[in-house]
């Protein structure tokens, strides 16, 4: 029962549609009706501006972090479930949110939050990689996919050093979802029509 409750809590945390709620509460705008229609930080930046985009991105990161840290709650300390499983449930919640008709974001920020909660040095590496890739490519989508690859390669090396097989598998799965959710972006990148950021 404890495991079921934890999985449900993690999924519900991930399901919180930060972009939708911030847009409606503070800007009277449904971001799903503008830009790419995606419930994520990038579309929020595009539709509502830098402040809203940054707030949504931080909230989406914290969803993944909070899910991983659920095992630290005393009543769940003996559940035996791996915290990364809960992080992955939060990622699924972000992609398929029950609070937004199961149509969510692309899970990049929430996946980063999972790393932040589980192994913060890896999160720092991923964040710096993302910022560098964004500086060079000017494309959030391409930078996100580059980060997914770099994170997986790093976790393979980390597995060889530490034996953390679970981290390698979960990061690999999150990477697969990130690429899957960016299918349309990949098509636009190939066609040279993918939007580029102008503020960096």
- Residue 174 CA to chain centroid, in angstroms? 9
Q: What is the pLDDT of residues 141-191, one digit of tens each?
A: 999 999 999 999 999 999 998 999 999 999 999 999 999 999 999 999 999
Does 199 score more than 80 pLDDT? no
Domain ranges of the chain: 2-191
How far CA 194 is from CA of 56, 109, 183, 187, 189, in Å, comes to 22, 20, 12, 8, 5
How far CA 119 is from CA of 65, 86, 158, 160, 171, in Å, comes to 10, 14, 11, 16, 12
């Amino acid at each position: 029962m404890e495991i079921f409750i934890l999985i449900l809590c993690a999924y519900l945390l991930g399901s919180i549609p930060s972009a939708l709620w911030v847009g409606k509460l503070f800007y009277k705008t449904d971001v799903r009706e503008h830009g790419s229609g995606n419930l994520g930080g990038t579309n929020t930046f595009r539709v509502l501006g830098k402040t809203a985009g940054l707030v949504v991105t931080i909230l989406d990161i914290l969803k993944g972090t909070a899910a991983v840290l659920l095992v630290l709650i005393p009543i769940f300390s003996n559940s035996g479930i791996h915290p990364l499983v809960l992080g992955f449930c939060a990622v699924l919640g972000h992609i398929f949110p029950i609070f937004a008709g199961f149509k969510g974001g692309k899970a990049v920020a929430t996946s980063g939050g999972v790393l932040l909660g589980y192994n913060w040095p890896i999160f720092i590496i991923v964040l710096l990689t993302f910022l560098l890739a964004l500086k060079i490519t000017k494309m959030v989508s391409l930078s996100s996919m580059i980060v997914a690859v770099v994170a997986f390669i790093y976790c393979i090396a980390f597995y060889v050093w530490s034996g953390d097989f679970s981290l390698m598998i979960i990061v690999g799965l999150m990477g697969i979802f990130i690429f899957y959710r960016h299918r349309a972006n990949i098509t636009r990148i190939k066609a040279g029509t993918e939007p580029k950021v102008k503020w960096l």
